[in-house]
Amino acid sequence: MNLYSWNVNGIRAVINKGEFARFMAAHNPDILCLQETKAQRQQVELDLPGYHEHFYSAAKKGYSGTAVFSKTAPLQWRDGLPAELVEQFQLAADSYGSPNDEGRVITAEFAGFWLVTCYTPNSKGDLSRLALRAKAWDPCMLAYLQGLEAG
């Protein structure tokens, strides 16, 4: 299985420059995970026959976002982190609000495995989100992944 993960830093620019088509032709991924798509699905001119696609966009247009393209249909898609974990780890405590408004995590269940693509919050140049990362985001993601692993 060929699985790729790519921080595109804006999917529309990557498509318009031909980089996306070249990547797909060169690598023919079974699964492709994208981070920092910075677009709503309806803003993306993309047709990939043979792929099941799922976009999870930020509420704020032009910000963050993730997407998954898979040749095999997943059993289910999940967007974001479970509300109980967001609450438990106080992820909505910073000025950005709920991380589930930022389109950062897509989980897909396949026969025999879970796939999680994640666009982790940046700590920012002024380190304003460092506490969020260290004390909330990272422990929350670990708990989420351990929960998936435990079944």
CATH number of the domain encompassing residue 34: 3.60.10.10
| Each residue's pLDDT tens digit, 76-135 | 999 999 999 999 999 876 667 788 999 999 999 999 999 999 999 888 889 888 888 899
- Is residue 148 predicted with pLDDT exceeding 80? yes
Altogether, the residues listed in the chain come to a count of: 151
Please name the residues in contact with 39: beta carbons below 8 A apart, sequence gap of 6 or more: 10, 11, 12, 57, 61, 62, 65
Q: How many domains, the chain?
A: 1
**pTM for the full predicted model:** 0.94
Residue range of the domain that includes 138: 3-150
Structure tokens at 86: 């967001």
Amino acid in the structure at residue 59: A
Q: Is 85 left (phi over 0), alpha (psi -120 to 50) or beta?
A: alpha
Residue 134 per-residue DSSP state: I
Which of residues 31 and 99 earns the better pLDDT score? 31
Residue 18, number of CB atoms within 10 A of its CB: 9
Q: Which helix (H) or strand (E) holds 19?
A: helix 19-27
Distance set, CA 114 to CA 15, 74, 122, 135 (Å): 28, 9, 24, 25
| Each residue's pLDDT tens digit, 36-75 | 999 999 999 899 999 999 999 999 889 999 999 999 999 9
